[in-house]
Amino acid sequence: MKFTINGGKKLQGEVQLTGAKNAATKMMIASLLTEEPCILKNFPQIGDTEIVAELCQLIGAQLEYGDHELKIHTPVIKQTEVMSLSRRNRIPILAIGPLLARAGEAEVPILGGDKIGPRPVNLHVNALKALGAEITVTKDSYKAVAKDGLKGASIDLQFPSVGATENIIFAAVLAKGETTINNAAIEPEIIDLIKMLQNMGAVIDLGANRTIKITGVEKLKGVTHSIIPDRNEAVSFACLAVATDGDILVKDARQNDLSTFLDALKKIGGGYEIVDEGIRFYKEKELSSIEIETGPHPKFMTDWQQPFTVLLTQAQGNSIIHETIYEDRFGYTNDLNQMGADIKTSSECLGGLDCRFNSKGFSHSITVHGPTPLKAINTQVRDLRSGMVNIISALIAEGTSLISGIEEIDRGYEKIDERLQGLGAEIDRLR
Ligand code: EPU
């Protein structure tokens, strides 16, 4: 499928955020920990939740959908091997903990790297081993066995990985004894997942300095949980408002989850107003340059740098973005340069501190020289977040753009074309 977009319109009006993709998909996995039904409210109807639905169904879950609501119930584990999935994302490895707790074994597909880097899962595998799982790596799967269940352990993460932190939590909530995660990820989606698990009966203490302590319990029960709004969607709509010199009220956007972004936006000349319904975004003055470093929460998130870079192509001066989470997340700058932007990639740690990619030859920093007008071109979506670059840049470019491979965008943004049309965008979906 493709989008055609006519650029040049100011986007104005209100848009409602959906529940966070990166919380919803994990909460579906959390539901596998109990034989009782779980209800997820504010549930996003997107490609990635469909992929996880197939995974959960293979395992034995029964799913009933309502309006932005999912009832998910896994009374018995029917299958512990999920190699026949028709579509894949990075979630199946997180099912190992629930499968070990309820059936003593699991087999999930190995996922290679993708367009944003090699994305290894060594931290997940080492942590599961520390908790007592026997893990065998075959050509295309991870097989895990823990016939007598898992046992709590103290785990130091070399890097505050979101997925590894979640994997350990899933494995530890029903393990015997206490597990400590040092250097844990503390993204708002993880905190929301912890709240859901606590309401299911788990005992999870969030300590200071990225420490999470989990005391294993015998059993978890069902829960009704409302998923936090998607802060990545919020940032995308905020960048759209400022880039098109429009004015968008992003309903349910939460200041707490976005404070680093709000500061950066303000510094370059974007404006925002916190109101009861959410946050209103607009352009306050001519945009100016900035230096940004992405990092684990509460730093500037890696999933925000792509739409922000489009803004920086319209800002006066030289801006720098140093990406410290993924080694290869600037592929989309080729598209922007073809449209007329002036962006240079570098393998140096530009702008600030050295990161773990220093001197390893990865193009993980950029300099954006602006402002540069953009002209429409035909593009192919590389990955979910750079798909938003294709959309925002097309909306401010002169002419008509054709964007192919939009299924990637549908994985994370619900009905994005209809919501953008509601804000005045000229965007059409070609099937
Ligand atoms: N890493 C390792 N070993 C591991 C795990 C991670 O080296 O065992 C490295 C990764 O290669 C990467 C870095 O650590 O360089 C961060 O990975 P992390 O595990 O934190 O990320 P993730 O769990 O794979 C989630 C989100 C991403 C988001 C990151 C960072 C989901 C499904 N994905 O990925 O979201 O960018 O956290 O916040 O929750 C997106 O939504 O478009 C997206 C990519």
Residue 25 · residue 49 · CB < 8 Å: yes
Structure tokens at 360: 């390893």
Q: What is the pTM of this model?
A: 0.97
> Can you give the residue range of the structural domain that contains 293?
2-18+229-430
The pLDDT, as a whole number, for residue 134 is 97
Mean of the pLDDT values across residues 227-236? 98
User: How many other CB atoms are there within 10 angstroms of residue 201's CB atom?
Assistant: 17
Mean pLDDT score of the chain: 96
So what's the pLDDT on residue 86?
86
Structure tokens at 121: 């899962």
- For residue 223, pLDDT over 90 is answered with yes
In order of 258, 330, 346, 410, the CA distances from 360 in angstroms are 31, 16, 11, 33
- Which distant-in-sequence residues (6+ apart) come within 8 Å of 8 by Cβ? 396, 397, 398
* Residue 234 CA, ligand 1 centroid: distance in Å: 19
Residues 273 and 298 placed together within one structural domain of the fold: yes
Higher pLDDT, 86 or 256: 256
CA triple 305-309-315, angle to 5 deg: 135
Same domain, 283 and 383: yes
Per DSSP, 11 falls in state P
Centre of ligand 1 from the C-alpha of residue 136, in Å? 23
pLDDT category at 113 given cuts 50, 70, 90 is: low
The 3-state DSSP class for residue 294 equals strand
Which residues are annotated as catalytic? 114
The residue nearest atom 31 of ligand 1, judged by CA position, is: 22
Same domain, 404 and 334: yes
Does residue 176 share a domain with residue 52? yes
Rounded to 5°, the CA angle 302-288-245 comes to 85
Q: Are residues 281 and 188 in the same domain?
A: no
| Ligand 1 pocket, residues with Cβ under 6 angstroms | 22, 25, 90, 117, 119-124, 159, 161-164, 185, 187, 302-303, 325-326, 384-385, 412
Helices H / strands E in the chain, number of each? 13, 23
pLDDT of residue 89: 86
Distance (Å) from CA 302 to ligand 1 centroid: 9
One domain for residues 208 and 260: no
Residue 192 sits in the same domain as residue 285: no
The answer to whether residues 8 and 90 belong to one domain is no
Query: Where do we find the tokens 């801006």?
Result: 319
Residues 279/258, Cβ–Cβ less than 8 Å: yes
Tell which atom from ligand 1 comes closest to the C-alpha of 22. 39
What are the backbone angles phi and psi of residue 423, rounded to the nearest 5°?
-100, 5
Q: Which of 184, 206, 226 is the last residue of a domain?
A: 226
Task: Indicate whether 171 pLDDT > 70.
Answer: yes
Does 269 lie in the same domain as 181? Answer: no
Radius of gyration over alpha carbons of the chain, in Å? 22
Residues 196 and 287 in one domain: no
- Give the CATH number, domain containing residue 90: 3.65.10.10
Q: What is the largest CA-CA distance in the chain?
A: 63
Where among 207, 226, 245 does a domain terminate? 226
Mean pLDDT of 184-211: 97
Specify the number of domains making up the chain: 2
pLDDT of residue 114 exceeding 70: no
Give the other-Cβ count within 10 Å of 31's Cβ.
Answer: 27
Spatial separation of the C-alpha atoms in residues 33 and 102, rounded to whole Å? 7
Q: Is the pLDDT of residue 109 over 60?
A: yes
